[in-house]
Amino acid sequence: MEQLRIPGPTPCPNEVLQAMSRQMINHRGPQFGQILGDITAKLKQLFQTKADVFLLTGSGTGGLEAAIVNTLSPGDKVLSVSIGVFGERFGAIAEQFGAEVVPLRFEWGKAADADAVRQALKAEPKVKAVLVTHNETSTGVTNNLEAISSVVKEFDKLLLVDAISSLGSINLPVDDWHCDVVVTASQKGWMVPPGLAMVSVSQEAWQAHTKAKMPRFYWDFTKAKSYLEKGETPWTPAISVVFAFQVALDMMLKEGLPNIVARHARVGKAARNGIKSLGLSLFAEESHTSNTVTAVAASNGLDPKKMNKILREEHQVILSGGQQKLDGKIFRIGHLGWVTENDIKEVITKIKVVLPQAGFRSSR
Ligand SMILES: Cc1ncc(COP(=O)(O)O)c(C=O)c1O
């Protein structure tokens, strides 16, 4: 069987796939209402929140757009903390909708520095919201969101979080860390096909929402809330993915969130140790490596594109390359969702075989 080890879409367990072959149901009927209620309650447990949580049909980027357009007005200043491709995207969405974006960029491979966020907020008192990526999938770095959040809340700003590749895999207690809008997506750690974005909305975010003037229709949280109260979504949902999601959430709760987080920590460590044992180095700074994606620097003559091609064609292992300026410079192993240490050890074994064929010369 193919080993799909990209940072999403991730493999889905058979029970999850089978749930998708069910016949359609009326999305305005009681059966769907019961499923939506059940999913929403379970999501709140995994988001560790008492706030509203909405299931939106769309990809993660749709969820990021929802976070922006529901809380901000054109001309609002936002601080966009960026450590890679997805941090840049979050800021670009805000800019597209007319926000005045103050970028706070860190070198790719490094985490955001909470003290630099403090200095930026001191220098820009008019900032209304701070945009942060919890886990930067493009570089394999996990930000210290707890520390960043405590700075953001020192200044009483709104905190909008891209947790697309972390939530449900890496600990993120949404309420304890005072995150106002948190976004994730089904195809990541949730073991479900693409098609759903999930967002939490705090009381402070609702207050901002009442004043937010950015244009919105499909993503309007007011509509999402009023429909959820009647057990519906405003628009036709991706029903098959919703069926799959219900099954996956049951599996997740059976395993238990602390166990899931611990498993990802073990798997992440296995990936990092395995990579180092091959004489390769991590792209991410050691103190902030991600437990859901490992980015590996191409060194010693390694052509990562060639390596990924051989792995795909001859070993049925699918890895990711680098994005944008990291194209050809790194490769990435996704290890989130339905994954064990053994899966990753197997991947490492195959990489070891392929490395010399892809130009790598061991310096040992
Ligand atoms: C951190 C992060 N943000 C945003 C996205 C974009 O999500 P989507 O591709 O579901 O729109 C991704 C997906 O790769 C991601 O990993």
Interval 77-91: pLDDT, tens: 999 999 999 999 999
pLDDT above 90 for 168: yes
pLDDT score recorded for residue 364: 66
48 lines ligand 1 (CB under 6 A): no
Radius of gyration of the chain (CA): 20
pLDDT above 90 for 232: yes
* Mean pLDDT on 47-64: 98
pLDDT score recorded for residue 1: 81
pLDDT score recorded for residue 58: 98
71 lines ligand 1 (CB under 6 A): no
Angle between helices 341-354 and 304-315 (to 10 degrees): 110
pLDDT score recorded for residue 363: 75
pLDDT above 90 for 93: yes
pLDDT above 80 for 224: yes
Looking only at the bridges linking them, the beta strands covering 317-318 and 100-105 are unpaired
CA of 10 to the centre of ligand 1 (A): 12
Atom 12, ligand 1: residue with shortest CA distance = 164
* Mean pLDDT on 115-126: 98
Cα of 280 vs its chain's centroid, Å: 26
pLDDT above 90 for 96: yes
CA of 185 to the centre of ligand 1 (A): 8
Name the H helices within 163-290. Answer: 203-211, 221-229, 239-255, 257-277
Name residue, tokens 């390359």: 321
pLDDT score recorded for residue 123: 98
151: phi then psi, degrees, rounded to nearest 5 = -70, -45
* Mean pLDDT on 277-284: 97
Residues of the chain above pLDDT 70, percent? 100
CA of 61 to the centre of ligand 1 (A): 6
192 lines ligand 1 (CB under 6 A): no
Q: For the chain, give the mean pLDDT.
A: 98
- Cα 361 from Cα 355, distance rounded (Å): 8
User: Quick one: which atom of ligand 1 is closest to the CA of 59?
Assistant: 10
Q: Mutate which of 137, 198, 324 to test ligand 1's pocket (most atoms within 8 Å of Cβ)?
A: 137
Q: Mutate which of 57, 61, 83 to test ligand 1's pocket (most atoms within 8 Å of Cβ)?
A: 61
- Predicted TM-score of the model (pTM): 0.98
61 lines ligand 1 (CB under 6 A): yes
CA of 89 to the centre of ligand 1 (A): 9
65 lines ligand 1 (CB under 6 A): no
Q: How confident is the model at residue 153 (pLDDT cuts 50, 70, 90)?
A: very high
59 lines ligand 1 (CB under 6 A): yes
pLDDT above 90 for 198: yes
CA of 187 to the centre of ligand 1 (A): 9
- Cα 111 from Cα 97, distance rounded (Å): 27
CA of 74 to the centre of ligand 1 (A): 24
138: phi then psi, degrees, rounded to nearest 5 = -75, -20
